[in-house]
Structure 1
């Protein structure tokens, strides 16, 4: 075989992979939007695990992907019809074609885009995170975010995709759809990386995208929007308060989720703990303002590093960690997890909760969190929508009574939706 023929085979193979992934991503995007959905069934982690072993290469051969997918979908609901995927003429020859194929196709085209009850707005974190979202590789999104060796080999392609996504996309878009009882929850992506939020040049464009997303959701009568990760930064928009002040007639409620995050942090502290250390004065003041009550007395701003329980934020340095005693438990109150430097210490997950079994269409992990675990900021928006609260929950003037109220709403069975604390087995010891 000549070298040119070998290169042609490699080129065709790569094209098949890219072509197939494009159709997969488009299909998942339409499913997340709720538009032209064929089968109204949820996808869970067990299905994702099963499909990892399937030979899905057949989808790479057809440009008529959507029509073929619709035709074959009836086989999975009727079982004795529409066996073929891309060659339906055999079903017509042998009489196994489903007579409702054409009507299903027409109905799906007329289906309007689904209106969510609540939206969670997040953003990209690291370069490799573009592959971790549900629209990309389900084999990656179904596990906590971590580096993979083969992703390093894909770094040139990653940089190209990242440049195109962040430079030419000026709007947020939906990438995930979940159900909680009667509520439909969408997750939207702001196409910027964490590094962009540190740039003053990007601040205006990021705020513009967030503001546009809020106003568009408000026009669609979405009830709640929660701001995830750095979309609620104090320097960026005052924890979301900027949008509320600029648009006082908003019907949609903005939630930064800090109340529930604070409650989760407090309940993550082991029982009978007498002393909890905070490293910096501004962090001590912020946490003390949220927890209030007698718990504030046990919150110590110290420099002797003797307490065994540390509440840590994004500014935790390697030098700080090296001063911790053996067996120290680090409990982050920040959006991002600390670097895990010490092998003889414990690291708690970032503020998060286990979602109830009744939640549907849960088939991907939220960043570095485990399966069926959501960040407290995201859960805060869901609870706000479930409770039907009419006030905003964002900014520096959040009432002090909010953490207990949100905690009670999240952990009681009043709504028959019970979020649980992430148990001790989520402590990570290196």
Structure 2
């Protein structure tokens, strides 16, 4: 049974909870259209404040998640996983509740609707109320919530988030937020009751209150320790992210709201607070933990750039889909793209832990279409090369190249960098061996004929050679007889008959297994017979034009169940699923292989890589029945 006042009244409404703001908006519109003056302008102020508060928390969360800026300042190094994100999904419930409580206060005290815009005394008086009344009340209330009954039924939910984040501050029970709303309301109402209230005081105090809550929960130490060394008394009046983080890791200490003074008076001050703060602040100039594996990704397009974990955390925690709410942000992304295009460096995107090893994703700040611009080729290769050399200097063991970063026309599948730098300690991997294995695993055992586009590419060649030695007829779509014959000569003569060159899509009109390695139009798809299945390793994926056919996803694998700190989806992949080339790099790292995997795929290693992936707990995600190669 759920304890009284634990669950939120609108818990089951989902996104429809925002309709609660409807009456406020309706009142604003009515006042503007039907009345001579905005008599009920308090509704407008409530809506504006709610919007600003939401922006405050979102911006703080974005800044604290920008690993490329603050990786050396993080207090707890582990990432925020999907479980925590789901727990904190409705973090903004407190904003709705406090909007309702503000409207009740305005109804009870009509003078609140006629406050002056400015009063020079108001903010000072509000701060005095806060320091002298709100802080001690919160301290004792918070300490009370750590009692056995209240903690178990109300406060444990807040502490269930392993990594403090700005959104964690709002993830509390209904009862807790009622108490917190009272703590916020005391300085506001008290200042107004003694005749010092003003509109700017309400805005200023509420936003300062949120700013301080975000500061404490941001998990990034930004308060310099030199400040407290120069002004020792200040440390009792200003808490730090380290100070509040200790409350989440050692819960019976550091109960204060924003002022450690009350912890000192109540004898609940953690003795490690200042020493640990100095350590975290001093570490900001030092190198972070070196990852064992790096996946070098790239941006696909303008909208997918907004799928980054440091933009909208909830959006990036689900598979990417173009959403209407992204449209207003596109001009901003376009400007950022131009800046990145002019001058930019590879930056840290996200990370997760697997088998005790740190895996990071670095991003080459180039958009997908830029890879196909001839004049951009040298610049992109230079950035990839710099990332490889940086990984080599740091001591990274394996660096895996994402889709377009290993384009054959761009750098020969990574051979350009390995040939240029023969003494690299970091292993450069394109991961295509596992990609080929995933695609081959999807093909049913009784298939006797397949149609292959992109047949002379790295993956196309490997798939054709592998299938032909298994006595599967491969219709290889290519107009280059020379390239076809070169591939055909790689298998023994007895298997030559299983590799057949075709130059038109009409040749596959009776073939129900298509393997697409080159983008095909709806018209070209029309040549497939009804019931055909389209396997694919083309980026971007082909359009699912045929309703009488089925379409496979891009080659991918699910990471092992013991992966830690993973909180964002890899483009359109489901949670915990990564592209096969990414998974191929993971396997390379876990196996400790010392060779580079660049250029042409070694067909003889396809079975070996597949078995290694399964051994380490990676799983195929195909909806088709898998088979062991």
Q: TM-score range by the shorter chain?
A: 0.7 to 0.9
Q: What residue in structure 2 maps to residue 399 of structure 1?
A: 602
> What SS does the corresponding residue of 2:362 show, helix, strand or coil?
strand
1:218 is displaced (CA, Å) by 0.6
2:298 counterpart of 1:127 = no
Decide which of 541, 551, 554 is 1:347's aligned counterpart. 551
For residues 242 and 7 of structure 1, the distance between their equivalents in structure 2, rounded to whole angstroms, comes to 60
2:80 counterpart of 1:43 = yes
1:162 is displaced (CA, Å) by 2.9
Q: What residue in structure 1 maps to residue 312 of structure 2?
A: 137
1:378 is displaced (CA, Å) by 0.5
Decide which of 421, 433, 456 is 1:282's aligned counterpart. 456
Change (3 A) 1:388 1:375: same
Give the conservation status (yes or no) of the 8 Å contact 1:116–1:185. Answer: yes
1:387 is displaced (CA, Å) by 1.1
Give the conservation status (yes or no) of the 8 Å contact 1:349–1:426. Answer: no
Q: What residue in structure 2 maps to residue 160 of structure 1?
A: 335
> What SS does the corresponding residue of 2:606 show, helix, strand or coil?
helix
What are the equivalent positions in structure 2 for 1:24-423 lying under 5 Å apart? Answer: 24-30=61-67, 35-55=72-92, 56=167, 61-62=211-212, 66=221, 67=223, 68-84=240-256, 86-111=258-283, 112-168=287-343, 170-279=344-453, 282=456, 286-288=461-463, 291=466, 294-295=469-470, 297-301=472-476, 303-396=507-600, 398-412=601-615, 417-423=616-622
1:241 is displaced (CA, Å) by 0.4
For residues 388 and 231 of structure 1, the distance between their equivalents in structure 2, rounded to whole angstroms, comes to 23
> What SS does the corresponding residue of 1:348 show, helix, strand or coil?
strand
Q: What residue in structure 1 maps to residue 14 of structure 2?
A: none
Change (3 A) 1:19 1:53: closer
Change (3 A) 1:370 1:160: same
Give the conservation status (yes or no) of the 8 Å contact 1:313–1:338. Answer: no
For residues 226 and 281 of structure 1, the distance between their equivalents in structure 2, rounded to whole angstroms, comes to 23
TM-score (norm 1): 0.88
1:116 is displaced (CA, Å) by 0.7
**Structure 2 segments unaligned to the other structure (5+ residues):** 1-37, 93-166, 171-206, 224-239, 477-501
1:32 is displaced (CA, Å) by 9.4
Q: What do the CA deviations read for 1:377-413 (whole angstroms, capped 9, x no partner)?
A: 00111111111111100113x432221221121112x
1:161 is displaced (CA, Å) by 3.0
The more displaced of 374-383 and 338-347 is 338-347
Give the conservation status (yes or no) of the 8 Å contact 1:232–1:238. Answer: yes
The more displaced of 276-285 and 66-75 is 276-285
For residues 237 and 7 of structure 1, the distance between their equivalents in structure 2, rounded to whole angstroms, comes to 57
1:136 is displaced (CA, Å) by 1.8
Q: What do the CA deviations read for 1:143-182 (whole angstroms, capped 9, x no partner)?
A: 11111111123322332333333334x2101111111113
How many residue pairs get aligned? The number is 420
For residues 368 and 151 of structure 1, the distance between their equivalents in structure 2, rounded to whole angstroms, comes to 16
TM-score (norm 2): 0.61
Give the conservation status (yes or no) of the 8 Å contact 1:172–1:190. Answer: yes
Change (3 A) 1:190 1:5: farther
Larger radius of gyration: 2
Give the conservation status (yes or no) of the 8 Å contact 2:298–2:364. Answer: yes
Q: What do the CA deviations read for 1:289-340 (whole angstroms, capped 9, x no partner)?
A: 5525533633234614222221012322111222223322111123432222
For residues 70 and 588 of structure 2, the distance between their equivalents in structure 1, rounded to whole angstroms, comes to 22
Change (3 A) 1:313 1:201: same
Give the conservation status (yes or no) of the 8 Å contact 1:33–1:174. Answer: no
Give the conservation status (yes or no) of the 8 Å contact 2:292–2:358. Answer: yes
For residues 90 and 584 of structure 2, the distance between their equivalents in structure 1, rounded to whole angstroms, comes to 36
1:226 is displaced (CA, Å) by 0.3
For residues 77 and 377 of structure 2, the distance between their equivalents in structure 1, rounded to whole angstroms, comes to 39
RMSD: 3.0
For residues 449 and 464 of structure 2, the distance between their equivalents in structure 1, rounded to whole angstroms, comes to 17
